[in-house]
Structure 1
Amino acid sequence: MIGRIIGALVGREVSRRDGNNGLKGAALGALAVGGMRRLGPLGLLLGGGYAAKKAYDRRKAGKVTGHY
């Protein structure tokens, strides 16, 4: 269950990066789920880390620095 969620997040990040309609992201997300299952807990950690890093970078880029 968690692997599928992380696969969907990875697919969404790929789709956002390319700016396409999302079909490519969905396909790569499905492939990521298969890869994560083969790698076990390490694959889950890698997929989750990738999605978290992209979300962190997007959030950091959206904030305005308050330095004068």
Structure 2
Amino acid sequence: MIGKIFGAVAGAQASKFTRSIGGTGGAVLGMIAVPVLRRMRIGTIVALGAGGYVAKKLIDRKRQDEAAAPTPPAE
């Protein structure tokens, strides 16, 4: 019970950094994430974390490359 409450609070706080998920949606996702993570094995949790890290790095690199690309001159 307390884990779900902490998860809901963490989800609500995390939703402040996203545009697509509101505070209530973040709280619900955080509440659902706690029991799901409890049922996962440690290897699965590590793999999900590493995959998320790699995905974030690739997205950041793509954004950086797009920002650094020269724009064609306007005619």
Same fold (TM over 0.5): no
Classify the TM-score, shorter chain.
0.3 to 0.5
Structure with more relative contact order (C-alpha pairs < 8 Å, separation 6 or more)? 1
Please report the TM-score for the alignment, with normalisation by the length of structure 2: 0.42
